């Protein structure tokens, strides 16, 4: 079965999962963290090379401040408590997103996690934190404009490859499979450029219910898809015969 090299996940539905159990929203975020830990292990065990998760979007600052504070504390506690285990398991941890608005304590722990795990090669976990796809494209444009202004780059040389190389995800291949839980079928300003050719998988399961078996269903869905990248089926067959 063909395995996706890179999976990107919008971990949606923690709030609805709590509501269905007559519990406060933070109960769902705590359960969501447990789900995330299991899925990281499961993805690494299956040989996935890159796993990107949307942990906090730029728009999420608009939530009630008690929920934002809870999430910030949860991230900080999780980073301090769980980074050792990720490291022992050979996981490299990287963060993408705008660090400007993020609390100094959290930034420091993010940097420490990145440097502790930098030589791990079993799987790379990319945590999108204070991230927005439009922000990413915007910051790439700024970098390119600065290079043009400094005569380090000619405007005529700006092509797709060059833009990809200035996104916060420049170091990694684009996701092959996008998963969103909890029934919504939106990208919500996640990896807009990078998801151009990803297979899109949606499930009604809420994130705290998304387990190893659910991950396998998503991977099986991916394996059943024919990725044509703009070509037709017959061309793909010819390519395979000559491979």
* Residue ranges that bind ligand FPP, judged by CB under 6 A: 11-16, 29, 32-33, 36, 55, 60, 74-75, 78, 127, 182, 207
Which residue, 68 or 137, is less far from ligand FPP as judged by CB?
Answer: 68
Residue 153: CB minimum distance to ligand FPP, A? 35
Residue 101: CB minimum distance to ligand FPP, A? 16
Residue 104: CB minimum distance to ligand FPP, A? 18
User: What is the Cα–Cα distance from 86 to 36, expressed in whole angstroms?
Assistant: 12
Residue 225: CB minimum distance to ligand FPP, A? 26
Q: Which residues are catalytic?
A: 12, 60
- Give every CB contact of residue 27 below 8 A, 6+ residues apart in sequence: 18, 21
Residue 199: CB minimum distance to ligand FPP, A? 22
Which residue, 74 or 148, is less far from ligand FPP as judged by CB?
Answer: 74
DSSP string, the chain: -PPPSEEEEE---HHHHHHHTT--HHHHHHHHHHHHHHHHHHHHHTT-SEEEEEEEEGGGGGS-HHHHHHHHHHHHHHHHHHHHHHHHTTEEEEEES--TTS-HHHHHHHHHHHHHTTT--SEEEEEEEEE-HHHHHHHHHHHHHHHHHTTSS-GGG--HHHHHTTSTTTTSPPPSEEEE-TT----TTSSTTTTTT-EEEE-SS-GGG--HHHHHHHHHHHHHS---TTS-HHHHHHHHHH-
Which residue, 78 or 137, is less far from ligand FPP as judged by CB?
Answer: 78
Which residue, 77 or 115, is less far from ligand FPP as judged by CB?
Answer: 77
Which residue, 14 or 94, is less far from ligand FPP as judged by CB?
Answer: 14
């Amino acid at each position: 079965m063909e395995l996706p090299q890179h999976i990107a996940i919008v971990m949606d539905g923690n709030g609805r999962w709590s509501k269905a159990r007559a519990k406060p929203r933070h109960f769902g975020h705590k359960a969501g963290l447990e789900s995330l830990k299991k899925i990281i292990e499961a993805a690494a065990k299956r040989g996935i090379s890159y796993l990107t998760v949307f942990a906090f979007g730029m728009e999420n600052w608009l939530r009630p401040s008690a929920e934002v504070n809870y999430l910030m504390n949860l991230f900080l506690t999780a980073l301090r408590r769980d980074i050792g285990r990720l490291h022992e398991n050979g996981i490299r941890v990287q963060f993408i997103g705008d660090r400007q608005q993020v609390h100094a304590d959290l930034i420091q722990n993010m940097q420490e996690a990145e440097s502790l795990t930098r030589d791990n090669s079993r799987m790379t976990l990319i945590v999108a934190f204070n991230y927005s796809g439009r922000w990413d494209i915007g910051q790439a444009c700024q970098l390119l404009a600065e290079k043009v202004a400094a005569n380090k780059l000619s405007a005529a040389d700006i092509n797709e490859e060059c833009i990809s190389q200035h996104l916060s995800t420049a170091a990694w291949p684009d996701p092959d499979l996008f998963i969103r839980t909890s029934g919504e079928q939106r990208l919500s300003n996640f990896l807009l450029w990078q998801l151009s050719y990803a297979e899109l998988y949606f499930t009604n399961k809420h994130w705290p219910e998304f387990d190893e078996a659910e991950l396998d269903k998503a991977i099986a869905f991916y394996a059943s898809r024919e990725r044509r990248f703009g070509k037709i089926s017959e061309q793909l067959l010819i390519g395979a015969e000559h491979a």
